[in-house]
Amino acid sequence: VNEFDIIQRFFAGKITLQKDHVLIGPGDDCAVLAMSADQELCVSTDTFVEGVHFPFGAEASLIISRLMAANLSDLAAMGAEPYGFTLAITSPEFTEQWLVSFSDRLEMLVNTYDIPLIGGNLSRGPLSLTINIMGTVPLGRAILRSKAKVDDDIYVSGYLGEAAGGLALLDQPYQESYAPLLSRYSAPEPRLSLGTSLRNMATSAIDISDGFAADLGHLIKASGLGAQVDLEAIPLSSSLVTTFGLDIARLKAVQGGDDYELCFTAMPKHEAKIKELSLNLDLKLTKVGKICLDQELKISDKLGRAFSETEGYQHF
């Protein structure tokens, strides 16, 4: 099977979401897209490598679900709407079974998130995949990491640590109770609707990909400020606590990556609107702390005891 046949059968000929702004889709030297004068373009890229970002031998559907989520989540963190993406796949071989599973899931994701595949590349080599994603925001309305202000509340969406929990369970004998955590790892949900809704409310936002503490760390560094987080306020799912116990659950919630939830800041006056948004989106939004002047990230419990990332969970 050659590259052109694979592209025709599993990509260009199968992933066929049509959008008006895609003037020329895959197949020419470049795709050609209409631009809009009242919008700005948001662009991000992410690579997943076998054995680094997903386990050796992982299912094709898991790989593309996680890679798309990682990229879409970067759009969500800017408050952007999907515009288009390119996909570069390097693989030692392209088997029928892998391509069917991969492209079935890709088709589903493209339709779910309404984002057209505008081009790509297939190469022989060790398995890795790169997506370059584009989104749009109204002029001047992108939500940046750098605009948090002192006394802003810090919020997170959803429950943290579940993807890290799922990852830890991947090589365990399967139990039905693991299912929610496993699916949070293998098919995370990027928070696009939350992102666009936050354009009017959030002062800053970042997606949680490296881990809550690391990503909030990036946000406060970009804003030149600090943060005080209440350890007990960090939302933990009952699945995570039941499976791992409270201490390890907290550690995963603070340190674990891959949740693709959003962490954002907002002025205290928006608290009621954020509660309403949570109801409208049917998505938990939890106030976990405050932005402060002191350029440090402090996570502590009710008794004022600091949670030390470096000491890990022995600390508890």
Sorted by sequence, the CB contacts under 8 Å of residue 302 that are 6+ apart come out as 230, 232
Contact pattern from residue 164 through residue 183 relative to a second copy, giving x for each residue in contact according to CB under 8 A and a dash for the rest:
--------------------
Taking contact as CB under 8 A, which single stretch among the options 29-37, 60-68, 179-187, 301-309 is the one that binds a second copy?
Answer: 29-37
Q: Indicate the DSSP class of residue 145.
A: G
Q: Do the strands 22-24 and 262-266 form a parallel or antiparallel pair, or are they unpaired?
A: unpaired
Q: Rounded to whole angstroms, how far apart are CA atoms 287 and 8?
A: 48
**198 sits near a second copy (criterion: CB under 8 A):** no
Burial class of 302 by CB neighbour count within 10 A (0 to 12, 13 to 18, 19+): exposed
Taking contact as CB under 8 A, which single stretch among the options 156-164, 167-175, 203-211, 300-308 is the one that binds a second copy?
Answer: 203-211
Min dist CB 205 to a second copy, Å, is 8
**51 sits near a second copy (criterion: CB under 8 A):** yes
Taking contact as CB under 8 A, which single stretch among the options 21-29, 247-255, 285-293, 308-316 is the one that binds a second copy?
Answer: 21-29
Binding-site member from 30, 272, 279, 303 for a second copy (CB under 8 A)? 30
Report how many residues bind a second copy under the rule CB under 8 A.
62
**35 sits near a second copy (criterion: CB under 8 A):** yes
Question: SS3 of 69, please?
Answer: helix
Taking contact as CB under 8 A, which single stretch among the options 98-106, 138-146, 231-239, 242-250 is the one that binds a second copy?
Answer: 138-146
Taking contact as CB under 8 A, which single stretch among the options 169-177, 201-209, 268-276, 288-296 is the one that binds a second copy?
Answer: 201-209
Min dist CB 24 to a second copy, Å, is 7
**60-78 and 179-186 are packed helices; what angle lies between their axes, rounded to 10 degrees?**
70
**223 sits near a second copy (criterion: CB under 8 A):** no
Q: What is the 3-state secondary structure (H, E, C) of 165-191?
A: HHHHHCCCCCCHHHHHHHHHHHCCCCC
**267 sits near a second copy (criterion: CB under 8 A):** no
**23 sits near a second copy (criterion: CB under 8 A):** yes
Binding-site member from 8, 101, 146, 286 for a second copy (CB under 8 A)? 146
How many alpha carbons fall within 13 Å on the CB side of residue 17? 20
Taking contact as CB under 8 A, which single stretch among the options 59-67, 123-131, 174-182, 302-310 is the one that binds a second copy?
Answer: 123-131
- Rounded to 10 degrees, the C-alpha dihedral 29/33/34/38 comes to -130
Closest CA to 230 of 250, 208, 256: 250
- Residue 305: left (phi > 0), alpha (psi -120 to 50), or beta? beta
Tokens of 228: 């005080």
Residue with Cβ nearer a second copy (24 or 306): 24
Binding-site member from 95, 96, 126, 172 for a second copy (CB under 8 A)? 126
The gap between the terminal CA atoms of the chain, to the nearest Å, is 56
Residues of this chain that bind a second copy (CB under 8 A): 23-24, 27-37, 39-53, 73-75, 77-78, 80, 84, 86-88, 90, 118-121, 123-126, 128, 130, 132, 134-137, 142, 144-146, 205-207, 222
